[in-house]
Amino acid sequence: MRISKWFFVILIVSLLKPQISYGVSELSQKFLDFAKKSEVFDWMVGVRRKIHENPELGYQEFETSKFIREELDKLGISYKHPVAVTGVIGFIGSGEPPFVALRADMDALSMQEMVEWEHKSKVAGKMHACGHDGHVTMLLGAAKILKTHSHLLKGTVVLVFQPAEEGGGGAKQVVDSGLLENIKAIFALHVYPGQPLGQVYSKSGAFLAGSGFFEAVITGKGGHAAIPQHSIDPILAASHVVVSLQHIVSRIADPLDSQVVTVAKFHGGGAFNVIPDSVTIGGTFRAFSKESFMQLRDRIEEVIVGQASVHRCNASVVFSTKDKPFFPATINDEGLHKFFQDVAGDVLGVDNVKEMPPLMGSEDFSFYQEIMPGYFSFIGMDDGKNGTPASLHSPFFKLNEDVLPYGAALHATLAATYLHQSQLTEHHDEL
């Protein structure tokens, strides 16, 4: 009796396993087919073009947020708003644990679009040049897929439409809202020009650098450029500062630990014959570990103040503020890496799932990863039809809308599969 009972249990467990993986493969195909249906694709293209035509900067995404909520209303998806000023958090599924989150950023950049096409930005000096219009669309596409198949969900998918990724740290404010507690994992996709359409790129562990900004005012004493002995020249002092800052990475940093210090801003003077009172410089610094990052921060301040004083100038240095917080490094959860590769392989084909080396770019997705396991990846969108594609943040950046079904289906399959697997392995807390 005892043996036959255990035999029965083992038999059930072994029968369940192939069924689960078969179910996931079937799900991924079902979701991708759904996303590629002409009416779904056309809807996504329309959504993306509307957002592209009306770009809004960080924490000002009021119309974008309203448009997202209208689409969620049409889909019958409940949400919380406002979160972090303009953010929207939607919920699909049972409303019960487990919870898994998908994230899209909503903000545009302060730059003029140079691409001439029918749906060019209607707002002078603002442009979706980082593909966040596509990210919102892919997440709404995933929402449509998941809502249509919500009877298959073994828990709740949380849709995070966040503001202000471009330097504003919108993710931090979403985290600080406390609405993401008890979520087991979070995923995000970023479009990637120059890589083949429908291929994904990521790695386990440290993927993108932590980043911060600095700005310094170096003050001397202005005067006539022909009588320098009566002035204290801040331009000369600032020039030495810029050169000395380069020595931090070459002489202080461990050569095996990638770091960057770049001075990207240098403002001072306005006439050929006047030594100005002050010069303002600014830039960014990057590192993968907190220790290296804080060492850079301390040395930058030390070098600026020290070099300025060598040249009899004063210097004041400010670092990232509440409006522009330090971004931690984006560290992809090791446990989610295999999961992501398996699911992405199912959706896109195993040959389309690629490893890539870390980048010194940064992402505020890292704030989510500080409170839960998170996984960030890039999705390629180059179909070879448009010559050399412009990079992210280029005024000539073009998003290939054919990427939208792949991103939507991948998002949806990641979430649904995660819930499936999670429900089978653990007991979950209430949100």
In the complex, the smallest distance separating the C-beta of residue 165 from Zn ion, rounded to whole angstroms, is 6
Q: Which two tokens stand for residue 23?
A: 């179910």
Q: Which residue is nearest to Zn ion (CB)?
A: 130
Answer yes or no whether residue 130 interacts with Zn ion by CB under 5 A: yes
Closer CB to Zn ion, 107 or 233, in the complex: 107
CA-to-CA distance for 109 and 119, rounded, in angstroms? 17
Answer yes or no whether residue 185 interacts with Zn ion by CB under 5 A: no
In the complex, the smallest distance separating the C-beta of residue 354 from Zn ion, rounded to whole angstroms, is 19
Tokens 């600080």 found at? 176
- Please choose, out of 1-9, 124-132, 180-188, 298-306, the segment that lies near Zn ion by the rule CB under 5 A: 124-132
Closer CB to Zn ion, 31 or 378, in the complex: 378
Answer yes or no whether residue 183 interacts with Zn ion by CB under 5 A: no
- Please choose, out of 125-133, 137-145, 148-156, 262-270, the segment that lies near Zn ion by the rule CB under 5 A: 125-133
Closer CB to Zn ion, 276 or 325, in the complex: 325
Q: Which two tokens stand for residue 170?
A: 């919108």
Strand partners, 314: 219
In the complex, the smallest distance separating the C-beta of residue 202 from Zn ion, rounded to whole angstroms, is 15
Task: Output the CA–CA distances (angstroms, integers) from residue 171 to 28, 336, 364, in the order listed.
Answer: 28, 20, 6
Q: Total residues at the site for Zn ion (CB under 5 A)? A: 1
Answer yes or no whether residue 145 interacts with Zn ion by CB under 5 A: no
CA-to-CA distance for 116 and 72, rounded, in angstroms? 31
CA-to-CA distance for 431 and 429, rounded, in angstroms? 6
In the complex, the smallest distance separating the C-beta of residue 132 from Zn ion, rounded to whole angstroms, is 6
Closer CB to Zn ion, 311 or 324, in the complex: 324
* Residue 346 burial by Cβ neighbours in a 10 Å radius (0-12, 13-18, 19+): buried
CB-based contact 108:39 (threshold 8 Å) = no
Report how many helices (DSSP H) and strands (DSSP E) the chain contains, helices first. Answer: 10, 16
In the complex, the smallest distance separating the C-beta of residue 242 from Zn ion, rounded to whole angstroms, is 25
Answer yes or no whether residue 189 interacts with Zn ion by CB under 5 A: no
Residues with Cβ within 8 Å of 92's Cβ and at least 6 positions away in sequence, in order, are 77, 143, 146, 147, 150, 153, 156, 157, 159
In the complex, the smallest distance separating the C-beta of residue 166 from Zn ion, rounded to whole angstroms, is 5
Helical (H) or strand (E) element with 267: strand 259-268
Answer yes or no whether residue 153 interacts with Zn ion by CB under 5 A: no
Contacting residues toward Zn ion, per CB under 5 A? 130
